[in-house]
Amino acid sequence: MTTRAPQFPGAPVVRREARDKVTGTARYAADLAPAGCLYAWTVPATVAAGRVTAVRAVDALAVPGVHSVLTHDNAPELQEPDDPILAVLQDDRVPHHGWPIALVIAESLEAARTGAGELHVEYERDPYDVTLTDDHPGLYTPEEANGGHPAVRVRGDVERALAGASVQVDATYRTVALHNHPMEPHAATAVWADGHLTVHDSSQGSSRVRESLARAFGLDPDRITVVSEHVGGGFGSKGTTRPQAVLAAMAARHTGRPVKMVFPRPQLAEVVGHRAPTIQRVRLGADLDGVLTAVSHEIVTQTSTVKEFVEQAAVPARVMYASPHSRTVHRVTALDVPSPSWMRAPGEASGMYALESAMDELASALGLDPVELRLRNEPETEPDSGRPFSSRGLAACLRDGAARFGWHDRDPRPAARQEGRWLMGTGVASATYPVLVSRSTASAHAARDGALRIAVNATDIGTGARTVLAQIAAEALGVDPEAVRVDIGSTDLPVAPLAGGSSGTASWGWAVHKAATALAARLAEHRPLPADGITTTADTEEETGEESPYARHAFGAHFAETAVDAVTGEVRVRRLLGVYAAGRILNARTARSQFTGGMVMGIGMALTEDCGIDPDFGDFTARDLASYHVPVCADTADIQAHWIEEDDRHLNPMGSKGIGEIGIVGTAAAIGNAVRHATGARLRELPLTPDTLLPYLL
Ligand code: MOS
């Protein structure tokens, strides 16, 4: 207990559940099959808007093994849920294609699926509209964009500044709907026993799931336990409570037996959210030295008729570059589409694609190096708020990345370098992500024999949360991380916020640090320990409730080298290099994997990922991993992540910023800028597929 951890801070400690995961002993939500367990299969609506007028279940119920069929006619009635997407099987309305309209419950998965296929559903169809356009008649300016950001911010007089600028860029960029598609589909196993509901749910935060279930079922939260012990990714799609938790609990209540429900991959697209498509007009004005005088970023995006969700894509333009005149606007229209939601760096990922592409266009127009252009527009304070930055490492990331990448050897002329049939180019883009933190509680316990235990309802969605929390506790206690047991992933543990907004480590870690520090102080006073050991608890309500006088953001720079096949239009990413300034890095191994994971996702966004929406049927066309193309190993040959350690005292006791999302921010722009450099073609719509590029190459 007195040995100081040898390698902390930042040590590349191996994630503690790694062996359990690779050997298959780690238990996920659908791995449990309690005695007497039934299986549920949802029936998705096959029309894009309307009402269910009749459900005939005779044939479904005749399938051997089918136990029951739930529809809005017989499903348990819910209280108004905290998220309207959870009001499933409550009425006959079909708000979008794929909305769950029935649940077939059976003795086996196969029987449930077969039964679902035998259900006869009749609909009354309403006209519908699933197509986003920048002149859509339903467009309106909401009060807020996602994350509580004001929809509109204006400084100065952008129109005048643009008109008077020596150089202008006016370009419109488009991003398509994207899906998170974590490896583990959304799944839940629910058990009601003695008036207590236990749900094993694949979620990014079971405290919130418990709240949702308590509200929907009108139960005291003390009568609900939600467990998310191991979670196979989420990328935002499990950050809010999803219908599987509600449906499994409903089915378990209805049948009086445990029920397991897994959304099959092809159904996920319509029930777990999507990154909303955007149409983004960016206008930049600059003087001949490349100093910005005007920045205008206008977003058009979609939400559903079920709830308002506004992708906050113009928010990063409020942070990035100095400009005396600025205007950032979000407009949205409610279409008959599934509800959009969070997907890794919601807002930043799409918004920075447009802003950083436009910066590249400005650099071209000025004949100025794109790294230099960004350096010339470094703000003294956060442009939108005027607050000082707690730390701002963008310039350092750009300089360090340029040196590592060999940026300055580049011939700036487009389409100047060819290797056989490959047109070669390089591109750069900045990255940013806000520092977010939420209130958490945690406890620390030292047993009489010296065993140390941390308890907090954190969630490990594949990031290594257990491991880094052990490191944080170990540092506070002055022990080796292996000496600390960490219990997470259940609402029976101290309440904690979700793994989302790149805020998990900061939020949980702060509470863990506080509890462990208090425990260390108590341990110093008590020798020997009392029989039942010592427990300390911590709550960071006060610390995290204070509004910081500082603007707090992580920054980064992405450099890409692409090769474009002059014959087929295929784009290959030869090299991708990211440099980040994200405070103190707490675990070099797991952090690197977060950064490179985000970059890989950025490659998908740039080149292949596209849900497609069929205007005739109103549904997503790419609904499995055979048609929704995510990068594979062959697409990610040379990916490097580096970082600049920042000593930022205005964050939390660990000095850390979030790292889970910034890797995807700007990556698609860096790739698009490299493709432009390689070919001379400036495409302004993602993904950059061969069919869209080829016309420019012939
Ligand atoms: Mo992340 S999209 O905030 O889970």
Query: Which numbered atom of ligand 1 lies nearest the CA of 343?
Result: 2
Question: What is the strand order of the sheet 152-155 is part of?
Answer: 152-155, 325-335, 292-304, 278-286, 167-175
Pocket test for ligand 1, best of 312, 341, 342, 461 (most atoms within 8 A of CB): 342
Q: Domain 144-178+275-435+549-697: state its class.
A: alpha beta
Each residue of 610-633: pLDDT tens digit?
Answer: 999 999 999 999 999 999 999 999
Mean pLDDT confidence for 306-313: 98
Distance (Å) of CA 77 to CA 70, 90, 340, 574, 684:
11, 7, 25, 55, 47
| pLDDT greater than 80 at residue 479 | yes
Each residue of 382-402: pLDDT tens digit?
Answer: 999 999 999 999 999 999 999
Each residue of 514-563: pLDDT tens digit?
Answer: 999 999 999 999 778 899 999 999 999 999 998 999 999 999 999 999 99
| Per-residue model confidence (pLDDT) at position 528 | 85
Burial group, residue 192, by CB count within 10 angstroms (0-12, 13-18, 19+): buried
Share of the chain above pLDDT 90, in %: 97
Distance (Å) of CA 446 to CA 5, 451, 483:
17, 6, 11
| pLDDT greater than 90 at residue 9 | no
438 CB within 6 A, ligand 1: no
Each residue of 488-516: pLDDT tens digit?
Answer: 999 999 999 999 999 999 999 999 999 99
| pLDDT greater than 70 at residue 568 | yes
Each residue of 315-327: pLDDT tens digit?
Answer: 999 999 999 999 9
Q: Would you identify the CATH topology of the domain 32-127+180-271?
A: Aldehyde Oxidoreductase; domain 4 (3.30.365)
**pLDDT level of residue 57 (50, 70, 90 thresholds):** very high
Contact status, residue 296 vs residue 162, Cβ threshold 8 Å: yes
Per CATH, 18-27+440-539 and 144-178+275-435+549-697 having the same topology is answered yes
**pLDDT level of residue 360 (50, 70, 90 thresholds):** very high
| pLDDT greater than 90 at residue 159 | yes
Cα separation of 658 and 177, whole Å?
A: 25
Query: Which numbered atom of ligand 1 lies nearest the CA of 501?
Result: 3
Beta pairing, strands 389-391 & 551-565: parallel
98 CB within 6 A, ligand 1: no
Whether the pTM exceeds 0.75: the reply is yes
| Residue-range domain boundaries for the chain | 18-27+440-539, 32-127+180-271, 144-178+275-435+549-697
Please give the structure tokens belonging to residue 267.
Answer: 């159904």
| pLDDT greater than 50 at residue 123 | yes
| pLDDT greater than 80 at residue 444 | yes
Which CATH number is 18-27+440-539's, of 3.30.70.20, 3.40.50.360, 3.30.70.260, 3.30.365.10?
3.30.365.10
Q: Tell me the CA–centroid distance for residue 342 and ligand 1, in Å.
A: 6
236 CB within 6 A, ligand 1: yes
| Per-residue model confidence (pLDDT) at position 1 | 37
Catalytic positions? 661
| Per-residue model confidence (pLDDT) at position 6 | 42
Contact status, residue 438 vs residue 544, Cβ threshold 8 Å: yes
Each residue of 480-490: pLDDT tens digit?
Answer: 999 999 999 99
For ligand 1, atom 4: residue with the closest CA: 236
Q: Tell me the CA–centroid distance for residue 129 and ligand 1, in Å.
A: 28
Query: Which numbered atom of ligand 1 lies nearest the CA of 461?
Result: 4
Instruction: State yes or no: cis peptide before 84, omega within 30 of 0.
Output: no
Cα separation of 102 and 121, whole Å?
A: 9
What contacts 249, CB < 8 A, 6 or more positions away? 188, 190, 192, 197, 199, 213, 217
